[in-house]
A and B are shown apart, each in its own frame.
Chain A
Amino acid sequence: MSAALLSVDRLSIGTASGLPLVRDVSFDLAAGEIVAVVGESGSGKTMVSRAVLDLLPPGVVRTGGAIRLAGIDLARLDRNAMRKVRGGAVGMVFQEPMTSLNPAMPVGRQLEEALRLHTGCNRGERRRRILAMLERVAIPDPERCLAAYPHEFSGGMRQRIMLASVMLPKPKLLIADEPTTALDAVVQAEVMALMAELARENGTAVLLVSHDLSMVAHFARRVVVMQAGAVVEQGATEALLLSPQHPYTRRLLEALPRRGPARPPADGPPVVEVRDLVVDYAGRRRLVGRAAAKRAVDGVSLVVRPGETVAIVGGSGSGKTSLGKAIIGLVPTAGGAVLFRGTDPFADRRRLLDFRLGSQVVFQDPYSSLDPRMRVGAIVGEPLRHDAGLSARQKQARVVEALADVGLDEGHLGRYPHQLSGGQRQRVAIARAIVRRPAFVIADEPVSALDMTVQKQILALLAELQARYGFACLFISHDLAAVEQVADRVLVMEHGRIVEEGPRDRVFDAPRHAYTRRLLSAMTVLGAVGDDFALARRGGGWSAAAADGAPPAAGRGGAPENPVALAAGP
């Protein structure tokens, strides 16, 4: 490696009160190279990336070490020189596309800002370059885009615009902090591929910060693994994946989802049956009248049998969450029927209570699904309120048992949700869902807000509890890797309709519908094959396959067309 473009040398970061957050982090980044910093929440990876641009949050300071950009110590720069570095030499893409663009400013003006500050070109030249860049990032109708406001674009489009704005001044270094975590799988793959291509075209080095090891493995030449504020391991991507030295890296790799064994198909009368369900959302109220209603779910039928897990898969906006909410009765339906044990639960109060007692939901965000003013014991015990058959003492025993089932103990009874970690909160939410021994559980993206290693634990926990209590589970997710791990049957949903349905292995190995193939091709190819790790790297073809809906190169089961397929025991 020649002289490094970015050199982070024994960087330490701490709070102003002396608490260390990052200790002795060192790594180099050559010009044009993509390096990933991988770690879970709290590992300090974001702090490191922010320190480069001197954008540490208030109360957090650099306590030691040096950051050099092209040989210049960034700590020596005064405020004005630092401003020239930001946006000019170093660009930054943030995680949340919904908040990183100014909602009150047309896109064109925002794109122009960086060019005006960092280049000397005139109006016409700026406009020409902006249009060319918007074209490059595949924004339809760039002319119109200039005058449009951010809210008119989807998350994926906004992230493309963000990329365009950052790449316009042709920075030497791009810092991307979880750039696609907020996007769904298909869009995620497209945006990542676009970012890698843009970086290659402009010779920009990329510092990619992410919790998703399998995603970064496709793009980064080297990976830096961080845990609890320190680098535990770094090296070339392949070497690191194939022979991880540090136990933590091995744990991260083992947390990658693998396909579970296929279970015999469930039989018996369905617990829940959905027939031709339609959900409409009323249109936006106008000054006079209303806009046309939006159809979120359009004639969906499905059955869930005892003990089986049926997965609903689809991108954002496919209607999968609306379907789940309609089944449980949280949103009104516009047509069709939901049957619980063969009868309509919404027909009368007694059946509704029966349905309520027999069905539960695990929500996506454990920060929002637990009442912040209630203690864990009260939260878990709440569903038992309507269980007339149990005495107070039995209820208390049941709460303790449910907590034990999810791996928590009596010590957690008196805690408040904010005293728990994300994974523990989701365990509490699961305990609440199973405490009444429901016949039917809807899990709506139960792991997508969690770290990889925690995801693995939660998915395993759900499977274990299902084996113990035999409830039917409707698993709603955009995350195919998670679905592959737990589902018995898979239903693929697009634009409110089921486009493909079948046993998991059939859908994953031989997808029939073009949308299913797109979803699968967007899924990161780094995964477990048998007990070994397979790393498949396909140049730019990754996104091309996704974009024209062509079948993915030989699919996931077989060998990719241009593989550096390597296998080794962890």
Chain B
Amino acid sequence: MTTTAVPFRLPRANALVGGLLVGILALAAIVGLLWTPYDPLAIDFRARLAPPGPAHWLGTDDFGRDVLSRLLAGAWTSASIGVVTTAAAVAVGTLVGILTGFLRGWVDRVVMAVNDTLLSFPGILFALGLLAVLGANKWGIILALSLAYVPTVVRVVRATVLSLRERDFVAASRICGNSALYTMARHVAPNCIAPLIILATVMFGWIILAESALSFLGLGVPPPAPTWGNMLAGSRPLIAQAPWLGIFPGLAIALTLLGINLLGDALRDRLDPRMAR
């Protein structure tokens, strides 16, 4: 086929909007860590359930805490849980996936049997069970969610490795005299990066959602520390009196997920090997 120079293209709308929304999340998380308009934990009974206004832009909750401050602080919690959990799940899953995919044999069979068993539980149910044992706190959530999402990563990486190991350049590496371990590290692992980046982006979204869901169910980060999930949970009895308590955290979760999914789509378009050809 004719090879044509690909002229520079503007990033498409989904990359732009996705990048913008994720950028806002990152900014909110960092701002929330350093500075918030009010102390997110400060209780002020004089300002209970104040609607959005000049003093409290997004209103206050039933303890008089500033919703905007809590949202910003919660962004840090959500984002940090998302980043750490994704990194842990990807690291463990990649290692296991490459090993099983490349070595095959009984290692593969045993690991994949366990993996498929784990996959057959809904992730959130699995995490719920683990949290009941580990106790509900930030590190418990990270551990539980990482374990819940490792099997998905293993599946994706193993499938990629299975197709890669049939390629001639892997055979060429063995023929050069390279060991299996070196071939895995030098030739197989780097070629798994593209699908992994895409998976990681999407998974980051799932994890933020899962953390919100866990907090909503009362097994997340314990109050009074704010997270978007427990803010949403706390708004439930007051939804008729103070709708802003549910609207703003809900909106934050929805927009963040939208941004991450758009960005993941754009990355997939960008990193698709057929596009790279």
Contacts and interface: CB of A to CB of B under 8 A. Distances in A.
Contact of A330 (B2, B3, B174, B176): B174
B178 A382 contact: yes
Contacts of B1: 41-42, 46
A328 interface: yes
B175 A370 contact: no
B129 interface: no
Contacts of B176: 356, 360, 382-383, 385-386
B180 interface: no
Interface string B164-182: 0001110111111110000
Interface in B175-191: 175-178, 187, 190-191
Contacts of A383: 176-177
Contact of A418 (B4, B167, B187, B277): B277
A369 interface: yes
Given A369-B172, A432-B172, A386 B177 contact: yes
Q: In terms of DSSP, what is the predominant structure of the interface of chain B?
A: helix
Contact of A359 (B171, B175, B273): B175
Nearest to A387: B177
B171 A371 contact: no
Interface centre among B4, B177, B187 (most CB of A within 10 A): B177
Contact of B175 (A17, A41, A330, A365): A330
A42 B2 CA distance: 4
Interface in B186-209: 187, 190-191, 193
A357 B177 contact: yes
A297 B187 CA distance: 30
Interface string B1-39: 111100100000000000000000000000000000000
Given A357-B177, A382-B176, A386-B176, A44 B2 contact: yes
A105 B273 CA distance: 29
Size category of the A interface is 35 or more
B114 interface: no
Size category of the B interface is 20 to 34
A368 B169 contact: yes
Nearest to B182: A385
B236 to A, nearest CB: 49
B171 A363 contact: yes
Interface in A326-372: 328, 330, 353, 356-357, 359-361, 363-365, 368-372
B276 interface: yes
Nearest to B187: A371
A440 to B, nearest CB: 11
Given A44-B2, A368-B167, A382-B178, A361 B172 contact: yes
Contacts of B168: 363-365, 368-369
Contact of B2 (A21, A357, A363): A21
Interface centre among A47, A363, A368, A371 (most CB of B within 10 A): A371
B171 to A, nearest CB: 6
A15 B191 contact: no
A361 B175 contact: yes
16 contacts: A15-B4, A21-B2, A42-B2, A44-B2, A330-B171, A330-B174, A356-B175, A363-B168, A363-B172, A369-B172, A371-B173, A382-B173, A385-B178, A386-B176, A418-B276, A432-B172
Given A46-B1, A356-B176, 6 more contacts: A359-B175, A363-B168, A369-B167, A371-B169, A371-B187, A382-B178
Interface of A: 15, 17, 19, 21, 41-42, 44, 46-47, 229, 328, 330, 353, 356-357, 359-361, 363-365, 368-374, 382-383, 385-386, 418, 429, 432
Interface of B: 1-4, 7, 167-169, 171-178, 187, 190-191, 193, 273, 276-277
